Amino acid sequence: MNLTLNIWRQANATAQGAMHTYQLGDVSEDMSFLEMLDVLNEQLLAADEDPIAFDHDCREGICGSCDLMINGQAHGPEVTTTCQLHMRSFKDGDNITIEPWRADAFPVIKDLMVDRSAFDRIIQSGGFISANTGSAPEANAAPIQRDKALRAFNMATCIGCGACVAACPNGSASLFMGAKITQLGLLPQGQPERDSRVIGMVGQHDAEGFGGCTNIGECTAACPKEIPLDVISQLNKDLRTAIKNGH
Amino acid sequence: MASTLDPSGTVATNTAATQTSDDAHGYYTPGEPLVDTNAPTGPIADRWTNRKMDNRLVNPSNRRKLDVIIVGTGLAGGAAAATLGEAGYNVKSFCYQDSPRRAHSIAAQGGINAAKNYKEDGDSTYRLFYDTVKGGDYRSRESNVYRLAEVSANIIDQCVAQGVPFAREYGGLLDNRSFGGVQVSRTFYARGQTGQQLLIGAYQALERQVAAGTVTTYTRHEMLELVMVDGKARGIIARDMVTGAIETHLADVVVLASGGYGNVFYLSTNAMGCNVTATWRAHRKGAYMANPCYTQIHPTCIPVSGDHQSKLTLMSEGLRNDGRIWVPKKKEDCDKDPRDIPEEDRDYYLERIYPSFGNLVPRDIASRQAKNMCDEGRGVGPVVGDFRRGVYLDFADAIKRLGKDGIEEKYDNLLDMYERITGENPYEVPMRIYPAVHYVMGGLWVDYNLESNLEGLFVTGEANFSDHGANRLGASALMQGLADGYFVLPNTIREYLADGPFEKVSEDHPAVVEARTSVEARIDKLMSIKGNRSADSYHKELGLIMWEYCGMERSEDGLRKAIDMIRELKADFWTNLKVLGTADSLNQSLEKAGRVADFIELGELMCIDALNRRESCGGHFRAESQTDEGEALRHDDEFAYVAAWEFGGEGGQPVLHKEDLIYTAIEMKQRSYK
Amino acid sequence: MKGSRGTRSTVALKILMALSGLAFIGFVLGHMYGNLKAFSGQAAFNEYAEHLRELGEPMLPHSGLLWILRVGLIVALVVHVVTALMLTRRAHAARTQKYAVKKNVASSISSRTMRWGGVTILVFLAWHLLNFTIGKINPATGDTGDAAGDPYSLLVDTFDLWWMTIIYLVAMVALGLHLHHGTWSSIQTLGFTSTAASRARAKAAGWIIAVVVAGGFSLVPLSVLLGIIEK
Ligand SMILES: Cc1cc2nc3c(=O)[nH]c(=O)nc-3n(C[C@H](O)[C@H](O)[C@H](O)COP(=O)(O)OP(=O)(O)OC[C@H]3O[C@@H](n4cnc5c(N)ncnc54)[C@H](O)[C@@H]3O)c2cc1C
Ligand code: HEM
Ligand code: HEM
Ligand code: SF4
Ligand code: F3S
Ligand code: FES
């Protein structure tokens, strides 16, 4: 198929960016979206034009590196990651607009690449269980109800891609935070740090410049791992409890 | 199974090998034999305990003054950084991704082994040890493997304490499954995302240390050179991939946990960024590369769909429990709708050739036979290159037996993923699979303490060669990564650091300056060739050579041909490469070019190693070494050794050092799956 | 972040917003119920208005409880508007570079119009108070102050004008939208929706409150306009 691609080009963090239009022919529907961009990049290179920078690594939908806004939807029209989106979701003659995640907490580095280190700093602020190596009790000493364990697992599948932020009209990272808070809060191991975790993470979230959540729900629709809105409710509840407990 | 053959650990069950063949003659220089001077002695079950006791301690007040560089944030590097940070060392952690959480370990699906014996099905440390050595076709060190089995149980405890959500039974206890053809259920798993969950656990522990100030992370940094000062590893030269700045990072000790190099084949199940640069640079500085040709090829991957293909996706091996593998008997049927091919025209070749194991034969056999079928012209799916590369994995019988719901429940997201990638519904049309490179057992040579032959350079995880011999059992790479990271390295590195803090090295030390300028010169070179081929096109070409001649089946002629082709490719690369943009900004083409340059050199060494090893063992089949029935034939008398290659200088020949493999706790046996 | 305070976070602001919003919901429900007394005729309605002022007597002075209620509402209004402003400012700052193309996939119109809807309600409220309480402006007669007569007459006079009815009806649409999202949103903000089922219930509550309140309020003006209620 033949495509018209409108792609955001920006030389570096401080440069002024703009949309550029490219024509790409002979796209096979078996290609993944990123493979389509690979082909475009080879063409650009051959024409002495700087290839388009974009983040990607596993190309299996699990590392969370890939992050493209495709026709106004984070990761494109399917519930999946950009790398797992295939060209059969598009048709001949389509016009595709590709932009980076837009959030001031995710500054653009180059072209379609953004800096998501804010997520790491949110995790640093409490998204863990303090368990020093070697001090762990026998794993089966504390059984965990299977449904709780399953639910914790579902929340733990977040890949930290940032699509929730990209899709949210407020640029909020509540879904990302809520997933971690809910996962750890469901486990007995997670209880001692429960209050400090939510206070720390929300504090960092705000300090990074993400917006507040007004429960709009675009985040969960864009999430490739289908993290549900429950987690934001849980986040709110944990914060309320923490305030009540004097934090 | 508690038996250790010689409880005192001194009576050997085999004699050292003497190689009589010399296929690689003319390609290498024979070197001195290699001995692991840190190898433990005594009863095998006590070796690790004793070593932990014997290793000296580092005074807590000194730890802060000791700088540790760790390259890699996968299970091996991430766990080590967290643990050493906790202990109070000053850790600098590097990765090329934008976050430590994205290291390639995240992609592991199946599970992690541990000898917990929760199922009371007769598992034990010894059995896990035994299975791992046997699975590795008796090409690994017994002390290392025993230690791995021993610490495996602690790994599960540690991960559960961190909140890793492993699968559980209704009673709330941890669930296990059996994996990779072993007879006990010892694999812990978190649906099909075990690697992700384990890595996130390690990542969170690491970030906790960042907050505590003991670990500093350098993301989007690529190590491009090792700094050796007075015979000791004292730092690295890294490129900040965002600004292009070349940075010098000095330390008291350097740990490489940079993962595997399966991407030398271009198409593999590895992440796109996986590379050999960190270890190859160390190799060029003197670190030995051990058993580089040992590669594992996984039979159940989604086949290539065209020339645009950038990577291959693994489908869990578990699918072979229920799916039946076949190809059409007649070539003419290959482009037919498989549903129209009647039963009598189908060749269930694994069930035919291996009636007792059938579709569950080990990975290497399943892979090789699939390639044989396609080479014969009976492959299915699209024609790629000049033939069809795929075989059917058919769930029709299983759907009849378990119902569609049964299959859905068991493999749900896998089949969905397949449909997304191929556009075919596996409930209706048989799936197509093909083997793909998946894991490398080879890596930098290390001693029992995980220290390479270069003083102060430690290597962990897939980057080292240590624990899997010629083949790796399913679910044991994660085990090794975390064993190394949480438990082994933190204990063995003490012995080295107890001599510290070492004299500070200054950035203007001639050796440091030399390392730095060599990196700058190399980047200048890559930028200034200004030819007309992209780095990617070289990578693709290298991959095709490696797959064809150094893949599942290797022959003397093929390997010689491959070496010639790789040498030509290398010459062409350095005259015809095209990299646009500048070196002092984010430049993905430049990153790629540097990696491909190293892959090309590695590829040549892999072929030489494969040429030298005139035996079929583990995942590696040498055409010249087979039984009358065409099965793999090992030569313990010639090759029961670790091949550790020393860099022979630019244009020089590599030097081969052999480390004998001597067993006391296990007896070598030929495997048979007929 | 070390030393961060939960009470200063965006989530805490949201909790304040939800609590003040819920207070409003309580008020509008009661107010709407009161308005429906208009169907019982002039006497009943005026008696009800007077009764409001007598509530709590003799413990409280005349109009005492009403004033407590008014102060509560004013506080809630200030809190609601101030937090709305703060959150809106943050949200704008969180994305200064807009997308060239952006699709909304899952969000409701109501959730995306909360801010403008709120402003509409605020403007309406200002007029409404001038109209019925503070100014007692009777747009039909042009009278202001007590000359406008009893509450019932003022009400009927007002809605006899078609354009006044339209203004009120538009405001009710805004209110209905605001409540449709606001009700569910406040329940989520307070953390009571951590399962899919409870979320569905909260969303249903949003629909019910929106329809009941906006619909209930609209009955009176419509009825006046259609002549069902007259002086
Ligand atoms: C698809 C797939 C499925 C698998 N499933 C299983 C399974 O079920 N069970 C199992 O046991 N094993 C499995 N494996 C194997 C296992 O995942 C890996 O062997 C293991 O995770 C490797 O871990 P590691 O820590 O050594 O390296 P990695 O996780 O690969 O980490 C490498 C790190 O090094 C960094 N790095 C590399 N080069 C540089 C450089 N030059 N400069 C700076 N940083 C650098 C990277 O950024 C990264 O952080 C699977 C592998 C694949 C590909
Ligand atoms: C006076 C003018 C008003 C303004 C400027 C205003 C503005 C807002 C804004 C911006 C929000 C946040 C959007 C969101 O949470 O999705 C909000 C939420 C809300 N508003 Fe209002 N509003 C006003 C009046 C009202 C009134 C009169 C009511 C009730 C009758 C009300 C009830 C609510 C509720 C229940 C919420 C939800 C709170 C939450 O999400 O936690 N608001 N309002
Ligand atoms: C069609 C709809 C409405 C009608 C007919 C109506 C009618 C009235 C009347 C008659 C009064 C005067 C009562 C008295 O003085 O005793 C009043 C007061 C008031 N109304 Fe409404 N109203 C409507 C909608 C609303 C809405 C939607 C709100 C809020 C968002 C609101 C807020 C108020 C307030 C705050 C007062 C003043 C109460 C006081 O302190 O005395 N009204 N309304
Ligand atoms: S919650 Fe979903 S969208 Fe957000 S970072 Fe995690 S996986 Fe991505
Ligand atoms: S879209 Fe945004 S407003 Fe909240 S519910 Fe999701 S974070
Ligand atoms: S590249 Fe890893 S999730 Fe897309």
**Rounded distance between C-alpha atoms, residue B154 and residue C229, angstroms:** 80
Any ligand 2 atom below 6 A from CB of C32: no
Structure tokens at B556: 């003397």
> CB of A128 within 8 Å of any CB in chain B?
yes
Q: Tell me if residue B548 falls in helix, strand or coil.
A: helix
**Rounded distance between C-alpha atoms, residue B241 and residue B244, angstroms:** 5
Match 């030097």 to its residue by tokens: B655
Give the residue-averaged pLDDT of A119-146: 95
Any ligand 1 atom below 6 A from CB of B193: no
Q: Which of A110, A134, A149 represents a domain boundary (last residue)?
A: A110
Match 């590392």 to its residue by tokens: A63
pLDDT at B177 over 60: yes
Structure tokens at B216: 């500093």
C-contacting chains (≥3 CB pairs under 8 Å): A
Any ligand 3 atom below 6 A from CB of C35: yes
**A80 → closest Cβ in B98, B219, B420:** B420
Match 């709407």 to its residue by tokens: C32
CB-based contact A211 C95, cutoff 8 Å: yes
Paired residues of B643 in beta bridges: B658
CB-based contact A169 C112, cutoff 8 Å: yes
Q: Is the alpha carbon torsion for A74, A77, A78, A79 positive or negative?
A: positive
Amino acid residing at C141: T
Q: Is the alpha carbon torsion for B307, A26, A42, B439 positive or negative?
A: negative
Marked catalytic residue, from B363, B432, B494, B622: B363
Are A94 and A75 in the same domain?
Answer: yes
Nearest CA in chain A to C113: A216
Structure tokens at A74: 């984070």
pLDDT at B2 over 70: no
> CB of A10 within 8 Å of any CB in chain C?
no
CA angle C77, C81, C83 (to 5 degrees): 120
Are A224 and A142 in the same domain?
Answer: yes
B493 or B411, higher pLDDT: B493
Q: Which of A81, A110, A139 represents a domain boundary (last residue)?
A: A110
Dihedral, A180, A182, A184, A185 alpha carbons, nearest 10: 150
Taking phi first (over 0 means left), then psi (-120 to 50 degrees means alpha), and beta for anything else, what does residue A32 get?
Answer: beta
Spans of all domains in chain C = 4-225
Among C72, C70, C65, C80, CA closest to C20: C80
The conformation of residue B191, written as its DSSP 8-state character, comes to: T
Q: Which atom of ligand 5 is nearest to the CA of A174?
A: 7
Q: How far is C-alpha B68 from the chain's CA centre?
A: 24
Among B366, B370, B325, CA closest to B181: B366
**pLDDT band per the 50, 70, 90 thresholds, residue B412:** low
- The values of phi and psi at residue B135, to 5°, are -60, -35
**Rounded distance between C-alpha atoms, residue A221 and residue A207, angstroms:** 26
ipTM: 0.94
**pLDDT band per the 50, 70, 90 thresholds, residue C148:** low
Any ligand 1 atom below 6 A from CB of B192: no
**Rounded distance between C-alpha atoms, residue B60 and residue B493, angstroms:** 14
Nearest CA in chain B to A36: B308
What is the domain range of residue A98?
Answer: 3-110
**What is the set of domains in chain B, with CATH numbers?**
298-438 (3.90.700.10), 510-636 (1.20.58.100)
Q: What is the pLDDT of residues A19-37, one digit of tens each?
A: 999 999 999 999 999 999 9
pLDDT at C3 over 70: no
Are A129 and A156 in the same domain?
Answer: yes
Structure tokens at B85: 């940070």
Give chain A's mean pLDDT.
96
Q: Check if the beta carbon of residue B196 is closer than 8 Å to that of residue B204.
A: no
Are A143 and A231 in the same domain?
Answer: yes
Strands A108-110 and A113-114 come out as antiparallel
Strands B457-459 and B253-256 come out as parallel
Ligand nearest to the CA of A63: 6
Identify the pLDDT of residue B618: 87
Identify the pLDDT of residue B4: 65
C-alpha distance from residue B371 to each of A242, B362, B389 (Å): 60, 15, 8
Strand ranges (E), B334-385:
346-347, 383-384
Q: What is the pLDDT of residues B185-241, one digit of tens each?
A: 999 999 889 999 999 999 999 999 999 999 999 999 999 999 999 999 999 999 999
Across B558-567, C1-10, C100-109, the highest mean pLDDT is recorded for B558-567
Q: Tell me if residue B188 falls in helix, strand or coil.
A: strand
Those residues whose C-beta lies under 8 Å from the C-beta of residue B352, and which sit 6 or more positions away, are none
Question: From the CA of C14, how many Å to the nearest CA of chain A?
Answer: 8
C-alpha distance from residue A132 to each of A123, B83, B87, B204, B465 (Å): 17, 7, 9, 12, 28
Strands B90-94 and B67-71 come out as parallel
**Rounded distance between C-alpha atoms, residue C231 and residue C221, angstroms:** 13
CA of A193 to the centre of ligand 4 (A): 23
CB-based contact B99 A160, cutoff 8 Å: yes
CA of A152 to the centre of ligand 4 (A): 15
User: Lowest mean pLDDT: which of A123-127, B618-622, B658-662?
Assistant: B618-622
> CB of A207 within 8 Å of any CB in chain B?
no
> CB of A221 within 8 Å of any CB in chain C?
yes
Dihedral, B57, B58, B60, B63 alpha carbons, nearest 10: -150
**Rounded distance between C-alpha atoms, residue B225 and residue B518, angstroms:** 8
Chain A residues closer than 8 Å to B171 by CB: 143, 146
Q: Is A35 exposed, middle or buried (0-12, 13-18, 19+ CB in 10 A)?
A: buried
The conformation of residue C94, written as its DSSP 8-state character, comes to: H
Are A186 and A239 in the same domain?
Answer: yes
**pLDDT band per the 50, 70, 90 thresholds, residue C2:** very low
Structure tokens at B361: 């034969």
Q: Burial letters for B472-504: b for 16+ Cβ neighbours within 10 Å, e otherwise? A: bbbbbbbbbbbbbbbbbbbbbbbbbbeebebee
Would residue B494 show up in a list of annotated catalytic residues for this protein?
no
Which of C7, C83, C87, C102 to mutate: most A Cβ within 10 Å? C102
**Rounded distance between C-alpha atoms, residue C193 and residue C175, angstroms:** 23
Are A100 and A171 in the same domain?
Answer: no
Amino acid residing at C197: A
Identify the pLDDT of residue A186: 96
Dihedral, B359, B365, B367, B368 alpha carbons, nearest 10: -130
Question: From the CA of C224, how many Å to the nearest CA of chain A?
Answer: 37
Strands B391-394 and B324-328 come out as antiparallel
Among B218, B272, B228, CA closest to B253: B228
Q: Tell me if residue B599 falls in helix, strand or coil.
A: helix
Identify the pLDDT of residue B414: 80
Identify the pLDDT of residue B453: 98
Give the residue-averaged pLDDT of A112-129: 98
Rounded percentage of chain B residues whose pLDDT exceeds 70: 99
Q: Check if the beta carbon of residue A214 is closer than 8 Å to that of residue A170.
A: yes
Among B124, B206, B120, CA closest to B162: B206
Are A102 and A121 in the same domain?
Answer: no
**Rounded distance between C-alpha atoms, residue C6 and residue A239, angstroms:** 7
Q: Check if the beta carbon of residue B655 is closer than 8 Å to that of residue B608.
A: no
Are A201 and A96 in the same domain?
Answer: no
Are A204 and A137 in the same domain?
Answer: yes
Any ligand 1 atom below 6 A from CB of B78: no
The conformation of residue B411, written as its DSSP 8-state character, comes to: H
Residue minimizing CA distance to atom 21 of ligand 1: B105
CB-based contact C185 A198, cutoff 8 Å: no
Those residues whose C-beta lies under 8 Å from the C-beta of residue B543, and which sit 6 or more positions away, are B264, B265, B266, B267
The conformation of residue C145, written as its DSSP 8-state character, comes to: G
**pLDDT band per the 50, 70, 90 thresholds, residue C1:** very low
Greatest C-alpha distance within chain C:
66
Q: pTM for the complete prediction?
A: 0.95
Structure tokens at B562: 């491959």
Q: Is the alpha carbon torsion for C79, C84, C89, C93 positive or negative?
A: positive
* Alpha-helix residue ranges (DSSP H) falling in B267-311: 277-284
**Rounded distance between C-alpha atoms, residue B617 and residue B512, angstroms:** 42
Those residues whose C-beta lies under 8 Å from the C-beta of residue C159, and which sit 6 or more positions away, are C165, C168, C220, C221, C224, C225
Identify the pLDDT of residue A71: 98
pLDDT at B413 over 80: no
Q: What angle do the packed helices A194-207 and C10-35 form, to 10 degrees?
A: 90
> CB of C197 within 8 Å of any CB in chain A?
no
**pLDDT band per the 50, 70, 90 thresholds, residue C57:** confident
Identify the pLDDT of residue B365: 86
Q: How far is C-alpha B206 from the chain's CA centre?
A: 23
CB-based contact A218 C104, cutoff 8 Å: yes
Any ligand 1 atom below 6 A from CB of B107: yes
**Rounded distance between C-alpha atoms, residue A114 and residue C203, angstroms:** 35
User: Lowest mean pLDDT: which of B74-83, B416-425, B636-645, C52-61?
Assistant: C52-61
Structure tokens at C43: 């006497």
pLDDT at A173 over 80: yes
Match 């812990």 to its residue by tokens: B188
**Rounded distance between C-alpha atoms, residue B128 and residue A115, angstroms:** 43
Q: Check if the beta carbon of residue C134 is closer than 8 Å to that of residue C126.
A: no
Give the residue-averaged pLDDT of A91-98: 97
Give chain B's mean pLDDT.
94
Are A101 and A198 in the same domain?
Answer: no
Are A179 and A221 in the same domain?
Answer: yes
Chain A residues closer than 8 Å to B161 by CB: 129, 131, 135-137, 139, 189
Are A88 and A123 in the same domain?
Answer: no
Identify the pLDDT of residue B631: 86
Rounded percentage of chain A residues whose pLDDT exceeds 90: 98
pLDDT at B524 over 70: yes
Any ligand 4 atom below 6 A from CB of A229: no
Identify the pLDDT of residue B113: 96
Q: Check if the beta carbon of residue A41 is closer than 8 Å to that of residue B537.
A: no
Give me the number of domains chain A comprises. Answer: 2
| Cis bond before residue A77 (omega within 30° of 0) | no
Amino acid residing at C13: L
CB-based contact C199 A229, cutoff 8 Å: yes
Amino acid residing at A119: F
